[in-house]
Structures are given as structure tokens and as C-alpha cells.
Structure 1
Amino acid sequence: MEYGHLGRTGLLVSKLCLGTMNFGPQTTEEDSYAIMDRAHELGINFFDTANVYGWKKGEGITENIIGRWFAQGGGRRERTVIATKLYGSMGDWPNEEKLSALNIRRAAEASLRRMQTDYIDVYQAHHVDRDTPFDEFWEAMDILKQQGKILYVGSSNFAGWHIAKAQESARRRNTLGLVSEQSHYNLLVRAPELEVIPACEDYGLGLIPWSPLAGGLLGGILRKIDKGRSATDQIAAQLDKHRDKIERYEAFCDELGEDPANVGLAWLLHQRAVTAPIIGPRTVEQLDGTIRALEIELNDKALARLDEIFPGFKTAPEDYAW
């Protein structure tokens, strides 16, 4: 396994991040344990979750699964850099969602209880809260850090402008600020290249792409359909929209002799500011298959070919101005 620093920090994390969103809804608890154990065997030490995962309001199903896995001991917690998120609604009363100081305090305590740990390595805002000033956000996060309940703070789904506002607010408080940003980024979704990636580079945030395979569109979907696999209505609609690109992409992956899913992950690992794409295996076999992505070297010619198939963006404002 390869490791790199998370943004400008000294924290070393694996170049693949294990996403746990499937744990509970699509993957049984027993199979979730097997996937996490196998991740450690492969050297993956970076796990991502959220308090809303499990998708039953207020239950924190996925965090509870992780907590029961940690409770088995054997160094499971100590070997894991655990990142979780808050923002989504965890109840029907006011102040049970978003980023007020009150919800940050309550949500952190609840996540700690569910995961049966006394600290969270990376505590992330799942979305920007336009109704809460960053001064309030940082005061609440700083208190959690002082109490030893969180070590680092990250963001998710922030625009470049939000990253700048957050970092300048933290700078005025003489605190570390954000160390990572989770963004929707893959060969099909390249908008972060306009302003999010430049902001991450300038402020020293590690980029953690989510949905690196565009919901499966970049995972060899045409091959799977040919073998009798079905696609959801949403994915089928996206495939219709992007079929020409996907056909060219899978043909190019055939030329490389590589699985499309691994090429998609490898491409992300070649991009500026990227620390670790989030993979979301539903089985141990799927997890094992992703390791090949770390071994794929895409030369300039291959990267240019992928840019031709999936055009990206220049850094703003050059993309749309002189």
C-alpha cells in the first residue's frame, strides 16, 4: 500500500480510502466486518463514514457497525484513521442538522458513542451551511479539538469560495483550519478543476474524491450489461446521455489491458491535490480488485487520450476568460 500526507498535515493515509456508505443498506454487518478486516490486511488505514449513513433518520446505522467492529479489539481502532461527517438531519426537532455550534457538539458526541471511540481523526462538514457563520463553526470545532475529541477538520461538497472563507476565518483565529475536502470528482464530473482544486492547492487541503466511478458508469458498465447485469433507471439515463464517451472509454481501457474501474481510480491518483479516492466495495472481492489501480501508471499520452474522451476544465478564470 502507498501512503501520503493528508493535505499539509503530517497525517499519513492510504492512497485509497475505504468508503462505508454501503454498510447496512447493501452490505450485511458480517460482510462489512470482513471488508474492513481485509482493508487492514491490504494496508488501507483510511476509512470514511457519516452520521446519516444507513439512511434511517437518527439511527447512525453505519457508524454503529464500525463501532462494533472497533470493539472487537485487535488494534482495529488504533490502525484506522476514521473520518466521519455531520450536517444531515438526525431528528425532527430544531438544531438536529447542519453546522450550528449546538449541533456540532451533539453530533460529535453521538458519533463518538456509536463508533465506541474517544476521538475522531477527521471530522468533516458534509455540506456548507450558509446560515451558520464560519466563526461559530470554528469556535465549536476548536472546543472539540481542545477536548481531544477530534484531531482534524475537513469539508465536503464545498465550493472554492467556501474553502477560502473557511480558511480565512480559521487564519484570523490562528488555527489550522480545514485539512481536506471531499468533492464529487471523476472523469465525467470535472467541475472541481475550475476552483475547488486550486483552492485546495493554495490552502493545503487534500482532495478526497467521492463517487470516483460516477455511480458505476466508469466501472465497465457496458461489459456488465452485455453479461446480463441490469442498471437502475438513474444509471440507465446517465448511460444514454454519455454512451459515446463510455464506449470510447471502455475501448481505450481494452487497449491498455486494464479494467475500466481501475483506470478511473488511477486517473484520479494522477490529478493535482488528490490524496485518496473513496472506494465503496460491497464485497471483499470488489475491494481486492481495486488495489490494481495503485499500480497503473498513466503516461502523458494516456492522460491526453482520457482528456480527449472526457474534456476537463482549465483553472478559473482562464477556462472562460482570457
Structure 2
Amino acid sequence: MEYKHLGRSGLTVSRLCLGTMNFGWQTTEDDSHAIMDRALAEGVNFFDTANVYGRDAGKGRTEEVLGTWFAQGGQRREKTVLATKVYGNMTDWPNDTFLSARNIVRACEASLRRMQTDWIDLYQFHHVDLRTPWEEIWQACETLVAQGKVLYVGSSNHAAWQIAAANEAASRRHFQGLVSEQSHYNLLTRHVELEVLPAAQHYGVGILPWSPLAGGLLAGVLEKAAEGRRSDERTQRRIEKLRPKLEQYEEFCREIGAAPADVGVAWLLHQRAVTAPIIGPRTMEQFEGGLRALDLTLDEAQLGRLDELFPGYKAAPMEYAW
């Protein structure tokens, strides 16, 4: 396993991050525990979750599954860099959502109880809150850091100017600020290359791509359809819209002898701004598949071919100005 510092921090994380969004509702608790055990055995030390994960089993359920896993001991908690998130509503009560100081502190304490731990390594804002000033957000985070409940802070789904505003406000308070950003980033969705990635590199913010396989579209969806696997109606519409590109992509993968899913994740690992793509397996087989990407090296010609198939962006303003 290769490791990398998370942004400008001294925190060392594996090049793959285990996303736990399916745990506790699509993946049973026992199977979830088995995947996490296997992850640690393979050197994956970085686990990502959120307080709202759990869906059909109820919000908070995924954090509870991590809690019962940590409770088994064996240095599971000590070996894991644990990331969770705050923003989404946990109840219908007005102050149980967004990024008020009240919700940040109380949501953190609730996550700690569910996960049966004393601290969160990386506490992330699941989405931007345009109505709460950064001074209030950082006041709450400073309190949690001083109490030892949170060690580092990150963002998710933030624009470049919001990352800049956050870290400039933190700097005025002599606080570390954001060290990571979770962005929607894959071969099909490359908008963050315009401004988010340049801003992240300028501020020393590590990029953690979510949906690295574009909801399965980059995982050999055409081959699977030919084998009889059916997608939901929305996915089928996306497949038809992108079919020419997906056909070329899967043919390219066959030419180089690599699974499409491995190529999609490996491409992200070759991007300089990326710290660790987040893979979110439902099964052990899917987790094992994600590990294969670590062994796949794409040469310059192959990376160039992927750029031809799925054109990206130059950093702004060079993309659109002289």
C-alpha cells in the first residue's frame, strides 16, 4: 500500500479511501465488518462515512456499524484514520442541520457516541452552508479541536472560492482550516479541474474524489448489460447519451488488458492533486476489485488517449481566456 500526506497536514493516509455509505443498509453489519477487517489487512487505513448514512435502516446507522466494529478492539480504532461529515438533517427540528456552531458541536458529539470513539480524525462539512459565516463555523471547530474531539477539518462539494474564503478566514484566526476537499471527480465529470483543483493545490488541500466510477458507468456498464444486467431507468438514459464514448472506453480497456473499473480509479490516482479516491463497495468482491487499481500504471500515451475520450479542462482562466 502506498500512503500520502492529506493535503498540507502531517496526517498520512492510504491512496485508497474506504467509503462506507452502503454499510448497515445495503451491506449487512457482519459483511461490513469483514470488509473493514480486510481493508486494514491490505493497508487501507482511511475510512470515510457521514452522520446521515444509513438510508433505509435510518440515518446514523452506518456510523453505528463502524462503532460496533471499533468496539471489537484489536487496535481497529487506533489503526484507522476516521473521517465523517456534518451538514445533512438528522431530524426535522430546525437546528439539527447545516453548519451552525450549535449543530457542528452537537452533531460531532452524536457521531462520537454512535461510533464509540473519543475522537474523529477528519471532520468534514458535507456541503457548503452559504448562510453561516466562516467565523462561526471555525469557532465551533476550534472548540472541538481544543477538546481533542476533532483533529483535522475538511470540506465536501465546495467551490474554489468557498475553499479560499474558508482558509483565509481560518488564517485570520490562526487556525489550520481545511486540509481536504471531497469533490465529484471522475473521467466523466471533470469540472473541478477548472478552479477547485488549482485552489486546493494553492491552499494545500488534498482532493478526495467521490463517485470515481461515475455511478458505475465507468465500471464496464456496457459489458454488464450485454451479460444481462439491468440498470435503473435513469442510468439507462445516461448510458444511451454516452454510449459512443463508453464503447470506445471499454474497447480501450480491453486493448490494455485492464478492467474498466480499475482504469477509472487508476486514472484518478495519476492526477497530481488527488490524495485518495473514495471507493464505496457493497461486497467484498467489489472491495477486492478496487485494490487492483493500485497496481495499474497508465503511461503517457494511455493517459492521453483517455483525455481524448473524455476531455478535461485547463485551469481557469486559461480554459476560456487568452
The secondary structure found in structure 2 opposite 1:96 is coil
The secondary structure found in structure 2 opposite 1:320 is coil
Task: Tell me which amino acid in the other structure corresponds to 2:308.
Answer: E
> Offset of 1:56 from its aligned partner?
5.6
The secondary structure found in structure 2 opposite 1:209 is strand
Query: Distance between the aligned counterparts of 1:321 and 1:235, measured in 2?
Result: 35
Query: Distance between the aligned counterparts of 1:288 and 1:218, measured in 2?
Result: 17
Task: Show the counterpart of 2:81.
Answer: 81
Query: Distance between the aligned counterparts of 1:119 and 1:237, measured in 2?
Result: 43
Task: Show the counterpart of 2:40.
Answer: 40
> Offset of 1:279 from its aligned partner?
0.3
Query: Distance between the aligned counterparts of 1:51 and 1:22, measured in 2?
Result: 13
Q: Please show how residues 146-157 of structure 1 align to structure 2 within 5 Å.
A: 146-157=146-157
Task: Tell me which amino acid in the other structure corresponds to 1:130.
Answer: L
Say yes or no: does 1:11 pair with 2:11: yes
Query: Distance between the aligned counterparts of 1:242 and 1:8, measured in 2?
Result: 37
TM-score normalised over the length of structure 2: 0.99
Query: Distance between the aligned counterparts of 1:56 and 1:309, measured in 2?
Result: 37
Task: Tell me which amino acid in the other structure corresponds to 2:5.
Answer: H
Task: Show the counterpart of 2:72.
Answer: 72
Q: Structure 1 runs of 4+ off > 6 angstroms?
A: none
> Offset of 1:217 from its aligned partner?
0.1
> Offset of 1:58 from its aligned partner?
6.7
Stretches of structure 1 lacking an aligned partner (at least 5 in a row): none
Task: Tell me which amino acid in the other structure corresponds to 1:272.
Answer: R
> Offset of 1:289 from its aligned partner?
1.5
Q: Please show how residues 1-322 of structure 1 align to structure 2 within 5 Å.
A: 1-55=1-55, 59-322=59-322
Q: Number of aligned residue pairs: give it.
A: 322
Query: Distance between the aligned counterparts of 1:269 and 1:45, measured in 2?
Result: 17
TM-score normalised over the length of structure 1: 0.99
> Offset of 1:290 from its aligned partner?
1.5
> Offset of 1:57 from its aligned partner?
9.3
Query: Distance between the aligned counterparts of 1:126 and 1:257, measured in 2?
Result: 37
Q: Contact conserved, 1:155 with 1:180, CA < 8 A, in 2? A: yes
Q: Contact conserved, 1:58 with 1:91, CA < 8 A, in 2? A: no
Query: Distance between the aligned counterparts of 2:93 and 2:81, measured in 1?
Result: 32
> Offset of 1:19 from its aligned partner?
0.2
The secondary structure found in structure 1 opposite 2:44 is coil
The secondary structure found in structure 2 opposite 1:78 is helix
Task: Tell me which amino acid in the other structure corresponds to 2:31.
Answer: D
Q: Contact conserved, 1:84 with 1:124, CA < 8 A, in 2? A: yes
> Offset of 1:300 from its aligned partner?
1.1
